[in-house]
Chain A
Amino acid sequence: AQKVTQAQTEISVVEKEDVTLDCVYETRDTTYYLFWYKQPPSGELVFLIRRNSFDEQNEISGRYSWNFQKSTSSFNFTITASQVVDSAVYFCALSEANSGYALNFGKGTSLLVTP
């Protein structure tokens, strides 16, 4: 069963628009961790953020912000004032204690930002 659902397969926006990438997860563990990675066309997976299940504080880093809501099992990612360099595939991933903390990736959302 898919533990991490990224329902948006592809999103296309025009530069300077804000865009939110959705991530819904499923777990029975009380201790788990959530991650976002960016994969540009070059192929390297770039770590963006890690959040544990006990910390529901939202996080902002420059133009990036993350909204973690345990009540809806969601960990959404917003890019403000998008830029062409934000074009990439973004993966949300879940790491659970019961799975030995292996990374369980969602299928990814491909974001295209056009000038």
Chain B
Amino acid sequence: DTEVTQTPKHLVMGMTNKKSLKCEQHMGHRAMYWYKQKAKKPPELMFVYSYEKLSINESVPSRFSPECPNSSLLNLHLHALQPEDSALYLCASSPKVGEGVPDTQYFGPGTRLTVL
């Protein structure tokens, strides 16, 4: 089973709203990722959590706030977003088999976010 689930599938929010995206995996993976994908572009890495600790933040604006409550869950809290933040937000997880070996990342279906 290589399933990563994401909710909601679609989200429309105003610039003053606060919302959260949720990602869940039950594969025992110890690394989880958030990517942002604009239309007709490849995914861009935002954050990496390794063993529930934030290990990479790719200079993402503070209006995006990640949270990893436990090894199966990853949230992305959104606040005061701009229209240019509209995109597909993808979550991924990987086994974290060990240092010096890259993991295969398994992606969820994404949340399509529209900021008005």
Q: Footprint of B on A, CB under 8 Å?
A: 33, 35, 37, 42-47, 50, 91, 95, 97, 100-103, 105-108
Q: Footprint of A on B, CB under 8 Å?
A: 2, 40-43, 45, 48, 56, 88, 90, 92, 100-110, 112
Q: What are 22 A-B residue pairs whose CB atoms fall within 8 Å in the complex?
A: A42-B109, A43-B88, A43-B90, A43-B112, A44-B110, A45-B90, A46-B107, A47-B2, A47-B104, A47-B105, A91-B43, A100-B56, A101-B101, A101-B102, A101-B103, A102-B48, A102-B56, A103-B43, A103-B45, A103-B105, A105-B42, A107-B42
B interface, by DSSP: helix, strand, loop or mixed? loop
Which of B42, B43, B101, B112 has most A Cβ within 10 Å?
B42
Q: Are B107 and A45 touching (Cβ within 8 A)?
A: yes
What are the 5 closest A-B residue pairs judged by CB atoms, nearest first?
Answer: A101-B102, A105-B42, A45-B107, A44-B109, A95-B102
**What total of A-B pairs shows CB separation below 8 Å?**
46
